[in-house]
Amino acid sequence: MKRLFIAVKVVPNYNTLEVYNYLRRVLNYNNINWVDPDRFHLTFKFLGKTSESEILHIIEVIKVTVEMYNKINIELNKVGIFGSSYKPRVIWLGIAQNTQLENLAMSLLDNLTSIGFLKDRQNFIPHITIGRINKIIDKQLFNNSIDIVKDKFLQQSVVDKIVLYDSVLSTKGPKYNELFSMPLL
């Protein structure tokens, strides 16, 4: 069994790293597991523990879906949280609304459903997780820090390939191994 997900790697630029480092610095006394910038990605679907025999079917779905799409320009333009301001769970970088990206995601999710990977209950919200929150000491300072950068333009990027990753968990954090990638035209 492999722990799989389908995503797009996003390489952070100076603006994005500046916001990321600011948040790490001002929130360093909290218990937050920060994602290494080398692992930034936009997840289309977390597949979870998957048998080796299903991998070829997943690759075929990726091929059939992606061959219909061109490269997509995206804009990272906000910082937000999942959870409430009283109990935040995740800090993320948000992506401006993008119909092409949403169509690609919906096509991929629909096609994965046909091989037994059901859609998640929540809607697709394109984002890049940068921190997973275990405990916040000062909620007011946390919320003020997020407010300072919440509407900051971060960067433009290009979705030029979709990747099937194997996520291997360790005490040093997850390691993402690329099993397959399919370029967009």
Average pLDDT over residues 15-26: 97
Q: Which range of residues forms the domain containing residue 36?
A: 2-183
Average pLDDT over residues 25-35: 94
pTM: 0.95
Q: CB of 128 within 8 A of CB of 166?
A: no
At residue 62, the 3 state secondary structure works out as: helix
Query: Please, which pLDDT band fits residue 29 given cuts at 50, 70 and 90?
Result: confident
Which residues, 6+ apart, have CB-to-CB distance to 76 below 8 Å?
Answer: 10, 16, 93, 94, 95, 96, 128, 153, 154, 155, 156, 157
Structure tokens at 83: 């959870």
Please state, in angstroms and rounded to a whole number, the distance separating the CA atoms of residues 104 and 7: 12
Q: What's the pLDDT at 170?
A: 87
**What integer best gives the mean pLDDT of the chain?**
96
Strand partners, 101: none
Higher-pLDDT residue of 122 and 139 is 139
**AA letter at 60:** E
Q: CB of 89 within 8 A of CB of 39?
A: no
Average pLDDT over residues 161-183: 94
Average pLDDT over residues 28-54: 95
Structure tokens at 117: 């990977």
What's the CATH number where 36 sits?
3.90.1140.10
Q: What's the pLDDT at 71?
A: 98
Q: CB of 127 within 8 A of CB of 92?
A: yes
Q: Are strands 41-50 and 72-83 parallel, antiparallel or unpaired?
A: unpaired
Q: CB of 164 within 8 A of CB of 179?
A: yes
Query: Please, which pLDDT band fits residue 120 given cuts at 50, 70 and 90?
Result: confident
Q: Report CA-CA distances (Å) from 183 to 112, 127, 139, 160.
A: 18, 20, 42, 6
Q: Looking up tokens 């990605």, which residue turns up?
A: 41
Q: Beta-carbon neighbour count of residue 7 at 10 Å?
A: 20
Residue 171 has pLDDT above 90, yes or no: no
Please state, in angstroms and rounded to a whole number, the distance separating the CA atoms of residues 45 and 42: 9
Query: Please, which pLDDT band fits residue 59 given cuts at 50, 70 and 90?
Result: very high
What is the total count of domains within the chain? Answer: 1
